[in-house]
């Protein structure tokens, strides 16, 4: 009895190892889960920039420079991007951006890495 349950466990381990081998390389191929940072950075400047300014210094929407978003935790920024701000011009982006992409954008806003120096 012990032996057979031991074999079953080993069997599952083998299955896990084999699936891992086949699934892992396939993961990176489709671009579904991969963040295209260049494309996203461009999208932030163009799309978010249309309201927040091409240098994110503000326009119709408030400035998104690190000192402006400093008061907001990264998760709060992500929530604003995901859901928008109801009753304002800030639209929800969840239909257009994945959770990973939203997290990446939130990180960049915090660090200011998308802002080109004058």
Task: Give me the residues that bind ligand HEC (CB under 6 A), please.
Answer: 44, 47-48, 50-52, 60-62, 64, 68-69, 77, 80-81, 85, 88-91, 93, 105
Nearer to ligand HEC (CB atom), residue 77 or residue 115: 77
Q: How far apart (Å, rounded) are the C-alpha atoms in residues 77 and 81?
A: 6
**CB 82 → ligand HEC: shortest distance, Å?**
10
Nearer to ligand HEC (CB atom), residue 11 or residue 73: 73
Which helix (H) or strand (E) is 49 found in, with range? Answer: helix 49-52
Q: How far apart are the first and last CA of the chain?
A: 73
Nearer to ligand HEC (CB atom), residue 37 or residue 47: 47
**CB 34 → ligand HEC: shortest distance, Å?**
19
Q: How far apart (Å, rounded) are the C-alpha atoms in residues 40 and 24?
A: 24
Q: How far apart (Å, rounded) are the C-alpha atoms in residues 78 and 29?
A: 26
């Amino acid at each position: 009895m012990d032996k057979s349950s031991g074999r079953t466990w080993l069997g599952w381990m083998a299955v896990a190892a084999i699936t891992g081998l086949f699934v892992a390389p396939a993961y990176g191929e489709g671009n579904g889960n991969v963040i295209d940072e260049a494309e996203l950075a461009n999208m932030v400047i163009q799309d978010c920039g249309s309201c927040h300014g091409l240098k994110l210094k503000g326009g119709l929407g408030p400035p998104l420079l690190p000192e402006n978003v400093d008061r907001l935790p990264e998760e709060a920024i992500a929530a604003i991007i995901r859901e928008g701000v109801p009753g304002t011009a800030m639209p929800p982006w969840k239909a257009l951006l994945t959770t990973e992409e939203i997290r990446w954008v939130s990180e960049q806003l915090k660090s200011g890495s998308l802002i080109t120096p004058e």
